[in-house]
């Protein structure tokens, strides 16, 4: 035998018959994918190299798309419930029957009292369609999931600087030299953050991870700050204290681009106290350093004097910066004072402040790119401060989250590192000042559309959504004195409010793509009871539930009528600039999904079904004059709907010849143009316009030309949020709009126009000697909420979730490998397996989110590891706080936005030793599977 008779190998096998380019939807990151097709089946999915979001890479979920697309849990046809709610017994029906049922429920509601419909959507990306539909229907009760997700971050960012970390912008990964990441396990920008971290590493930049848990991004960070949960605000304000003390703030930037020089009324008795001094045109005033007189802040050529004060009408007016200095230089904010509460060493706080200052001011970046600001002042260069921050739910999912998120945005502004080279940069359509957003609306007229968009940004107490009698207009009590700036609604309160009939009863709950009976609810056990609860006459307390899902989830079992959606490879979708787009800091971009595979079941894209239902109901905008349907389906809508003349869901290839960018008449070949272009459209921002966007005249003009604005919208950042002061004034008794007595104190503290910190509510209401520990969840990078479980590949990675407990807790409770714990909160109890982890804040324990499953769901065998061993932390979390002694149960939310405070949870733990049966508690009766069970084995790829 010859020594090396290697077999002959074909190293150039054919990869596939065809590549179809579309957009991933294994999560909300919206990466571009190349779907390789062979013999009509999906053979391989890879990242699209040309795509602005992922630039070719693909995460674990995206790579497991095949297993999702062919999952046995896919729903097959519309269904109506035949058993009791929660059992999972259904009968398949036709679409005609399904629409007939829905119409028979919804038409009477619309004609008599549209508020009896609550329409809430979850992880979808078609909020511009669903909100439009809900507005046309006329119900005030519409929102998406933002209220339990991250409205603190979004709203704080928008009120502060016209855009937040998160999807509205990103660090300048190429140029940044110091990057601090707060409370992020994964985020929506899954791939971009990882690509960015890779770039920072390659460039030798430093990464600081602030997180009680050191995994994922925090594991690769060059420095870890293992902060005590809920104390980031205090830590950030201490950094600000240090910077003020050392005079390391960017005064030039602050005076030009922020309201730091705005004069604030200092007369405590005045109804104008804390409001800006304004001129006759309503323009805020600053002191002109040359004349010492107040002038409009945006007057060309003036230099604002932030060191002076102005007396006017008996009141001293001081610039915002002075109020800030006074507040943050106070010893209460000194590192020495906060270190213990934050669980961070004084030295570490001081050094981080020094590093921030060093990189911002000593390692400044200069780009020789002249530009002109909106006042007409010319700048020869672009000066950058290469310090960036990113943060997500770790700081926002707390009851002090809004102010903490504000604090972080303010810190970044003080360093002059927003919209500059090396700093944080907005992605179109951001920057977008609050003024460019709508106010919320709830004006109901039976048989007609709502008086305006549901969600928006209040500018003062007059914008709250209250009925004549002061009761909430909305079922979720959004935009009330309890949470005045709840810009995304409060989806997590809908089921419990509807069950309680507080503020009123509803008739039909219509939900889409949200597993609300399971992992997206606080208080899972009780929520299932609310959904199945019956009144004295034997009817369900929440009379009707319509739900659209694509898979046999837990929530499906609780619905009366199921509208089965397709998988993401089988439908049209539109990732629109009107919604949550996929832009980059350097470019506007949007994209589509299209049926790269035709459905083989009797299912319909939900958006198409919604449009079809809308036209059956005769909703405005969805029917022609003769009553016929205006749009056949979603694809038709995407191409032909116009939000404003010339502006529609897709910005690319507009106009009859397909050359319109952002503006232009509908193009009948638009979707094909997207397909030909790889499923997306990108339009790069001209070089001189790519920084200083809120103030850059060229950018503003470009944005107008692209339909992003209808007129230039320059503005300055709000270190000081005047709107909040208006609520404080109301709480102090000023004005016509007055809060209820019991909320005055809360409003006075919470609505501070400058960032403040207070301890998370749950920790102040429970006995912390009894519940000494914090319990958190994190998203596993390879799983998307509850979806991952049905996936034969992904469920092998995270089929069961241990409770990771800190070394400190492990020692004090004598945990040994193999031990289980009973974990108890003020509200509930779970019994779960334990693993020790040292790279964890000593007072903290955590687990992966949404791994535990109800037996029978997701077409899994009933003894699936997820159902037996996996568990949900949600059983311990309540949507209401423990009683305060005032006879009331306050909501477990941020008092400003109503954001669910998932991470305020306090617990105690008991070591129960090994649990031989290996079954976590609580367990639920199995639900029946309306789609059968998956096959025993899978050997995908046999066909190729």
Ligand X SMILES: Nc1nc2c(c(=O)[nH]1)N[C@H]1C(S)=C(S)[C@@H](COP(=O)(O)OP(=O)(O)OC[C@H]3O[C@@H](n4cnc5c(=O)[nH]c(N)nc54)[C@H](O)[C@@H]3O)O[C@H]1N2
Residues 631-660 contacting ligand X, CB under 6 A: none
Q: Which does 148 bind (CB under 5 to 8 A by kind): Mo ion, ligand X, ligand SF4, none?
A: ligand X
Query: Can you read off the two tokens belonging to residue 113?
Result: 């009292």
Choice from 536, 769, 925, 939 touching other proteins (CB under 8 A): 939
CB of 424 to other proteins, least distance (A): 21
Query: Can you read off the two tokens belonging to residue 524?
Result: 């899972």
Which of 137/389 has CB closer to other proteins?
Answer: 389
CB of 58 to ligand SF4, least distance (A): 5
Q: Mark 777-806 with x for binding to ligand X (rule: CB under 6 A) and - for no binding.
A: xxx-x-xxxxx-------------------
Q: Which residue is nearest to ligand X (CB)?
A: 394
Cis amide linkage into residue 431, ω under 30° from 0: yes
Contact 234, 342 (CB under 8 A): yes
CB of 840 to ligand X, least distance (A): 9
| Phi-psi category of residue 653: left, alpha or beta, with phi > 0 → left and psi -120 to 50 → alpha | left
Q: What is the DSSP letter of 227?
A: P
For the CA atoms of 525, 794, 45, 57, what is the dihedral angle to 10 degrees?
90
Confirm or reject binding of residue 629 to other proteins (CB under 8 A). no
Confirm or reject binding of residue 97 to other proteins (CB under 8 A). no
Q: Which of residues 340-399 bind other proteins (CB under 8 A)?
A: 345, 347-348, 350-351, 353-355, 357-358
CB of 175 to ligand X, least distance (A): 24
Packing angle, helices 232-246 and 401-414, rounded to 10: 30
Confirm or reject binding of residue 184 to ligand X (CB under 6 A). yes
CB of 796 to other proteins, least distance (A): 5
Contact 190, 27 (CB under 8 A): yes
Which of 374/902 has CB closer to Mo ion?
Answer: 902
For 96-152, what is the HEC assignment? HHHHHHHHHHHHHHHHHCHHHEEEEECCCCCHHHHHHHHHHHCCCCEECCHHHHCHH
Give the separation between CA 516 and CA 120, rounded to whole angstroms: 10
Choice from 172, 476, 549, 894 touching ligand X (CB under 6 A): 549
Query: Residues for the chain: how many in total?
Result: 944
Confirm or reject binding of residue 42 to Mo ion (CB under 5 A). no
Stretch that binds Mo ion, among 142-150, 380-388, 631-639, 896-904 (CB under 5 A): 142-150
Q: Which does 244 bind (CB under 5 to 8 A by kind): Mo ion, ligand X, other proteins, none?
A: other proteins
Which of 27/493 has CB closer to other proteins?
Answer: 27
CB of 401 to other proteins, least distance (A): 25
Confirm or reject binding of residue 170 to ligand X (CB under 6 A). no
Confirm or reject binding of residue 190 to ligand X (CB under 6 A). yes
Side-chain half-sphere CA neighbours of 75 within 13 A: 31
Stretch that binds other proteins, among 8-16, 149-157, 379-387, 821-829 (CB under 8 A): 8-16
Q: Which does 29 bind (CB under 5 to 8 A by kind): Mo ion, other proteins, ligand SF4, none?
A: ligand SF4
Which of 54/480 has CB closer to ligand SF4?
Answer: 54
Which of 59/651 has CB closer to ligand SF4?
Answer: 59
Q: Mark 146-175 with x for binding to Mo ion (rule: CB under 5 A) and - for no binding.
A: ---x--------------------------
Contact 878, 523 (CB under 8 A): yes
CB of 158 to Mo ion, least distance (A): 17
Contact 846, 903 (CB under 8 A): no
The DSSP bridge pattern shows strands 829-837 and 803-806 to be parallel
CB of 541 to ligand X, least distance (A): 22
3-state secondary structure of 794: helix
Confirm or reject binding of residue 210 to other proteins (CB under 8 A). no
Choice from 105, 179, 606, 820 touching ligand X (CB under 6 A): 606
Q: Which does 15 bind (CB under 5 to 8 A by kind): other proteins, Mo ion, ligand X, none?
A: other proteins
Query: Can you read off the two tokens belonging to residue 400?
Result: 């002090």
Confirm or reject binding of residue 48 to other proteins (CB under 8 A). no
Which of 187/819 has CB closer to ligand X?
Answer: 187
Q: Which residues, 6+ apart, have CB-to-CB distance to 301 below 8 Å?
A: 375, 377
CB of 404 to ligand X, least distance (A): 8
Q: Which does 242 bind (CB under 5 to 8 A by kind): other proteins, ligand SF4, Mo ion, none?
A: other proteins
Packing angle, helices 320-328 and 232-246, rounded to 10: 110
Q: Which does 8 bind (CB under 5 to 8 A by kind): ligand X, other proteins, ligand SF4, none?
A: none
Choice from 56, 456, 543, 735 touching other proteins (CB under 8 A): 56
CB-CB neighbours of 55 under 10 Å: 15
Which of 716/907 has CB closer to ligand X?
Answer: 907
Give the separation between CA 306 and CA 256, rounded to whole angstroms: 11
Give the separation between CA 799 and CA 866, rounded to whole angstroms: 5
CA–chain centroid gap for 151, Å, is 6
CB of 216 to other proteins, least distance (A): 5
CA Rg value for the chain: 28
Confirm or reject binding of residue 397 to Mo ion (CB under 5 A). no
Confirm or reject binding of residue 520 to ligand X (CB under 6 A). yes
Q: Phi and psi of 176, rounded to 5°?
A: -65, 145
Positions touching ligand SF4 (CB under 6 A) are 24, 26-27, 29-31, 54, 58-59, 61-62, 190-191
For 823-873, what is the HEC assignment? EECCCCEEEEEEEEECCECCCEEEEECCCCCCCCHHHCCCCCHHHHCCCCH
Confirm or reject binding of residue 553 to other proteins (CB under 8 A). no
Alpha-carbon torsion (29, 34, 38, 39), positive or negative: positive
CB-CB neighbours of 883 under 10 Å: 12
Give the separation between CA 835 and CA 840, rounded to whole angstroms: 12
Q: How far is residue 688 from each of residues 466, 697, 700, measured CA to CA in Å?
A: 46, 10, 12
Q: Which of residues 319-338 bind other proteins (CB under 8 A)?
A: 321-322, 325, 329-330
Query: Can you read off the two tokens belonging to residue 749?
Result: 């503290």
Residues near ligand X (CB under 6 A): 27-28, 122-123, 145, 148-150, 182-188, 190, 210-213, 227, 229-230, 232, 392-395, 398, 512-515, 519-520, 548-551, 553, 555, 565, 568, 606, 776-779, 781, 783-787, 849-850, 873-874, 902-903
Residues found near Mo ion in the complex (CB under 5 A): 149
């Amino acid at each position: 035998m010859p020594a090396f008779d290697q077999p002959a190998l074909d190293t150039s096998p054919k990869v596939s018959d065809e590549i179809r380019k579309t957009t991933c939807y294994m999560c909300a990151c919206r990466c571009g994918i190349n779907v390789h097709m062979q013999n009509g089946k999906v053979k391989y999915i890879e990242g699209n190299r040309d795509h602005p979001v992922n630039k070719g890479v693909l995460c674990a979920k995206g790579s497991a798309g095949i297993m999702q697309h062919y999952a046995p849990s896919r729903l097959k046809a519309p269904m109506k419930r035949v058993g009791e709610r929660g059992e999972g017994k259904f009968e398949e029906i036709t679409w005609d029957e399904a629409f007939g049922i829905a119409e028979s429920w919804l038409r009477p509601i619309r004609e008599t009292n549209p508020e009896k419909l609550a329409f809430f959507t979850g992880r979808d990306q078609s909020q511009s369609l669903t909100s439009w539909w809900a507005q046309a229907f006329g119900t005030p009760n519409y929102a998406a999931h933002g209220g339990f997700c991250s409205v603190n971050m979004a709203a704080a960012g928008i009120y502060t600087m016209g855009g937040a970390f998160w999807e509205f912008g990103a660090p300048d990964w190429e140029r940044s030299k110091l990057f601090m990441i707060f409370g992020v396990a994964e985020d929506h920008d899954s791939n971009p953050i990882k690509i960015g971290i890779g770039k920072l590493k390659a460039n030798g930049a430093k990464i600081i991870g602030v997180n009680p848990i050191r995994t994922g991004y925090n594991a690769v960070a060059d420095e870890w700050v293992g902060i005590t949960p809920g104390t980031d605000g205090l830590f950030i304000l201490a950094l600000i204290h240090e910077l003020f003390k050392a005079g390391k703030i960017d005064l030039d930037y602050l005076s030009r681009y922020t309201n730091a020089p705005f004069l604030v009324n200092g007369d405590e008795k005045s109804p104008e106290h804390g409001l800006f001094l304004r001129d006759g045109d309503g323009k805020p005033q600053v002191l002109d350093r040359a004349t010492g007189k107040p002038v409009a802040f945006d007057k060309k050529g003036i230099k604002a004097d932030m060191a002076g004060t102005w007396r006017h009408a008996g009141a001293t007016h001081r610039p915002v910066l002075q109020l800030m200095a006074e507040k943050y230089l106070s010893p209460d904010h000194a590192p020495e004072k906060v270190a213990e509460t934050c669980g961070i060493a004084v030295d570490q706080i001081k050094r981080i402040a020094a590093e921030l200052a060093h990189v911002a001011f000593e390692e400044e970046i200069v780009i020789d790119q002249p530009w002109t600001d909106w006042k007409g002042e010319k700048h020869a260069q672009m000066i950058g401060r290469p310090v960036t921050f990113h943060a997500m739910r770790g700081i926002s999912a707390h009851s002090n989250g809004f102010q903490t998120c504000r604090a972080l945005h303010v810190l970044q502004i003080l360093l002059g590192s927003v919209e500059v080279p090396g700093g944080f940069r907005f992605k179109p359509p951001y920057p977008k000042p609050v003024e460019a957003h709508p106010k919320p609306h709830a004006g109901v007229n039976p048989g007609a559309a709502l008086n305006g968009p549901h969600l928006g940004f209040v500018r003062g107490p007059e914008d709250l959504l209250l009925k004549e009698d002061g009761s909430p207009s909305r079922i979720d009590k959004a935009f009330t004195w309890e949470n005045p700036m709840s810009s995304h609604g409060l989806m997590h309160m809908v089921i419990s409010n509807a069950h309680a009939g507080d503020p009123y009863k509803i008739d039909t709950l219509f939900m889409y793509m949200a597993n609300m009976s399971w992992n997206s609810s606080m208080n899972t056990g009780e929520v299932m009871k609310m959904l199945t609860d019956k009144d004295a006459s034997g009817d369900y307390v929440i009379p009707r539930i319509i739900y659209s899902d694509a898979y046999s989830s837990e929530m499906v079992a609780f619905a009366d009528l199921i509208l089965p959606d397709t998988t993401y490879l089988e439908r049209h979708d539109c990732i629109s600039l009107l919604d949550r787009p996929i832009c980059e800091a350097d470019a506007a971009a949007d994209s589509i999904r299209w049926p790269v595979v035709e459905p083989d079941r009797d299912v319909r894209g939900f958006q198409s079904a919604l449009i079809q239902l809308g036209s059956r109901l005769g909703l405005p905008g969805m029917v022609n004059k003769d009553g016929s349907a205006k749009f056949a389906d979603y694809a038709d809508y995407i191409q032909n709907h116009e939000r404003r003349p010339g502006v529609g869901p897709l910005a690319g290839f507009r106009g009859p010849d397909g050359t319109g960018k952002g503006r232009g008449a509908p193009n009948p070949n638009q979707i094909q143009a997207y397909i030909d272009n790889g499923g997306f459209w990108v339009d790069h921002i001209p070089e001189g316009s790519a920084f200083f966007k809120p103030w850059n005249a060229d950018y503003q003009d470009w944005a107008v030309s692209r339909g992003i604005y209808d007129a230039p919208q320059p503005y300055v950042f709000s270190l000081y949020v005047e709107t909040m002061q208006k609520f404080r004034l109301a709480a102090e008794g000023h004005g016509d709009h007055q809060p209820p007595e019991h909320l005055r104190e809360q409003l006075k503290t919470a609505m501070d126009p400058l960032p403040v910190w207070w301890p998370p509510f749950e920790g102040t209401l429970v006995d912390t000697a009894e519940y000494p520990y914090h319990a958190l969840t994190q998203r596993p990078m390879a799983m998307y909420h509850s979806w991952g479980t049905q996936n034969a590949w992904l469920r092998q990675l995270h089929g069961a979730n241990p409770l990771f407990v800190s070394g400190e807790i492990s020692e004090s409770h004598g945990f040994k490998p193999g031990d289980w714990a009973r974990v108890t909160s003020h509200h509930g109890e779970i019994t779960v397996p334990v693993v020790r982890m040292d790279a964890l804040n000593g007072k903290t324990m955590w687990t992966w989110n949404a791994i535990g499953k109800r037996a029978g769901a997701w077409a899994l065998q009933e003894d699936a590891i997820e159902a037996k061993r996996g568990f949900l932390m949600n059983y311990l979390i309540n949507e209401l706080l423990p009683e305060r002694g005032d006879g009331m149960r306050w909501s477990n939310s941020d008092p400003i936005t109503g954001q669910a405070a998932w991470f305020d949870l306090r617990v105690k733990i008991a070591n129960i030793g090994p649990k031989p049966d290996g079954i976590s508690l609580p367990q639920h009766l199995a639900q029946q599977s309306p789609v059968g069970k998956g096959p025993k084995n899978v050997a995908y790829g046999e066909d190729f």
